[in-house]
Amino acid sequence: MNANISFNSDDVEAETQKKLEDIEQNLAKKVTVAVVGNVSAGKSSLLNALFHKTRKEVLASVGAISGVTTKVKRFALSKNVEIMDSPGLGDILDENSAETRQAMLDIDIGILVVSGSADTAQKQHFDLLKEHSKQVFVVLNKIDIYDRQKSSIPKVVAQWQEALGLTENEEIFQTCTFGYDPDSDEDTELDIRGVDGLREKILDFLKQYGKDLILAREMEHKSVLARRIIYGALAAVGVEAFIPGSALYITGTQAAAIMSIHYVYTGEVLSKKSAVAIIPLFASQSIGSSIFLIAKSFLPPTGILDVAAAGVAIVVTLAMLSAVNWVYENGYNLDDKSELKEQFNKFKKLLDHIGAKEIARIILSRDATAIMDLIKKFVK
Ligand SMILES: Nc1nc2c(ncn2[C@@H]2O[C@H](COP(=O)(O)OP(=O)(O)O)[C@@H](O)[C@H]2O)c(=O)[nH]1
Ligand SMILES: [Mg+2]
C-alpha cells in the first residue's frame, strides 16, 4: 500500500491508543446534576420528564402540597450519575467544611427551575449555582399557564432575564412538565413541552467532557443509544476510509464504538485492550492484534481508496457493531465468540447483498433518515 509511505504507523497506533485511553477514563467519571428552584416550581416534574419517566414510574415524587423541604436531596441514579434537588445550595455551604463543600458542589449540570413572574430573590440561587457548576441551564417551567395568553411569554422571559442578570444570548428554556402529580385526575395525560430540546442541549454540553454517554445512558433506551453510536462510527469510517494514513483510524473508531456499546448495556467500562482484541474476530484472515494490521485487513489489497473500498470498511463496521449490539440485546456478552461471529456473518451477508457501493452511497450521502433506516435493519 503506497499510502504507508506518507505516515508513520507507530504514530497512528499511539494516537489511536491515546484516544481509546481517553474514552476509558471518561466513561469512569461521574456526572452530577443539581436542580435548584422554589418549592413547587416543578423540579421533580422536570427531572421525571428529562429522564423520560411515565406517570406510573416516576423518578422523583411530585406534589402540589409537598412538605416544604429546604434541605438538599441527593440521590444516586446509578453508579455514575448523582442528582441534587433543592431550593438552593445554601445548606450545603452552611453545614459543611470547605473541603466537603468543594467535593459536594462539583456540579456538572446546574438547572435553575423558575415559574411564573420574575422574582429577584432567585438571583442569589442562580449565582451560587453558577459558581459551582460547569454550566447552568435556566428553565421557565409551567409555560402552559400562558396557554390562553401566549403573548405574555416574551415579556415574562425578558423579566426573568433581567432579574437573573442574563445576557441576551443566555437562553431561558421554556418547558411544561404537567401530569406527574398523583393528585391529578386518573385520565390526565402528560403534557411535556420543551424538554427534548433541553435534554439535547445538556447532552451536547457534556460531549466536550466525554461525559454525554454517562447521562444519556440513564435517559434513553439502550437500542436508541446503540444506533446513535453506530451512526457516528459509520460516518467517521466513511471519512477515514478515503484518507490513506487515516484509514488506520478505522480500528480505533470501531474499538471506541465497541467500548461505548458495552457501556450502554452494562454500565461498566471495557478496557481499550479488550475492545481492540475483539476486532480480529471479524477479519477473514488471521491478523494478530496490531491496530495497523487490523485496519489494513479491512481495506482492499490494491490500496486504492475509492467508494468501493470505503463501502467494504463501512460494511464490516456496521456488521461488527450490529453483532456486538445483538449479543448484549440477547443476553450474551463479548466472551460469546461463536454468537458474535455467527451474527457478524449473518449481517455481513445481508449487507453484501445490498452491495458495498450502495452502502457507501447511503452513508456518504449524509441523509440522516436513510442512514438511520439502514441501521434500524440491524439494530431493532
Ligand atoms: N401547570 C403546570 N403545573 C406543573 C408543571 N410542572 C409541575 N406542575 C405541578 O406543580 C406542582 C409541583 O410540582 P413538583 O414537581 O413537585 O415541584 P417541586 O416542588 O419543585 O419538585 C405539582 O402539582 C405539579 O403537577 C407545569 O409545567 N405546568
Ligand atoms: Mg420536588
Domain residue limits, the chain: 2-27+221-376, 31-207
Chain centroid to CA 5: 38
Q: Tell me the C-alpha distance between 228 and 261, whole Å.
A: 10
User: Which ligand is nearest to the Cα of residue 115, counting in written order?
Assistant: 1
Question: From the CB of 115, is ligand 1 less than 6 Å away?
Answer: no
**Distance from residue 317's CA to the centre of ligand 2 (Å):** 45
Residue bearing the CA closest to ligand 1, atom 24 = 181
Residue 183: other Cβ atoms inside 10 A: 9
So what's the pLDDT on residue 112?
98
Strands annotated E in the chain = 31-36, 73-76, 81-86, 107-115, 133-141, 172-174, 176-178, 191-193
User: Which ligand is nearest to the Cα of residue 146, counting in written order?
Assistant: 1
What nine digits make up the cell of 190?
402528560
What nine digits make up the cell of 273?
485492550
Q: Which residues of 18-55 are buried (b: 16+ CB within 10 A; e: fewer)?
A: ebbeebbebbeeebbbbbbbbebbbbbbbbbbbbbbeb
- pLDDT of the chain along its 380 residues, tens only? 334 444 566 777 788 889 999 999 999 999 999 999 998 999 999 999 999 999 988 888 787 655 555 577 888 999 999 999 988 887 777 877 887 777 778 999 999 999 999 999 999 999 999 999 999 999 999 999 999 999 999 999 999 999 999 998 899 999 999 999 998 888 889 999 999 999 999 999 999 999 999 999 999 999 999 999 999 999 999 988 887 666 668 889 999 999 999 999 999 999 999 998 898 898 866 556 566 666 666 666 655 567 877 888 899 999 999 999 999 999 999 999 999 999 999 999 999 999 999 999 999 999 999 999 999 999 99
Domain made up of 31-207: CATH architecture: 3-Layer(aba) Sandwich (3.40)
Where do we find the cell 484509514? 247
Question: From the CB of 98, is ligand 1 less than 6 Å away?
Answer: no
Q: Tell me the C-alpha distance between 261 and 263, whole Å.
A: 5
Sheet holding 81-86, edge to edge: 73-76, 81-86, 31-36, 107-115, 133-141, 172-174
140 beta partners: 114, 174
So what's the pLDDT on residue 250?
86
Residue bearing the CA closest to ligand 1, atom 14 = 42
| DSSP-assigned letters across all residues of 249-296 | HHHHHHHHHHHHHHHHHHSSPPPHHHHHHHGGGGSSS---S-HHHHHH
Q: Residue 187 phi/psi, 5° resolution?
A: -90, 15
User: Which ligand is nearest to the Cα of residue 114, counting in written order?
Assistant: 1
Q: Please say whether the beta carbons of 181 and 63 come within 8 A.
A: yes
Chain centroid to CA 161: 29
Where do we find the cell 413547587? 40
Q: Please say whether the beta carbons of 210 and 219 come within 8 A.
A: no
Q: Tell me the C-alpha distance between 309 and 360, whole Å.
A: 9
Question: From the CB of 86, is ligand 1 less than 6 Å away?
Answer: no
| Top mutation candidate among 35, 38, 43, 45 for ligand 1, by most atoms within 8 Å of CB | 45
Tell me how far apart the 2 most distant CA atoms of the chain are, in Å: 73
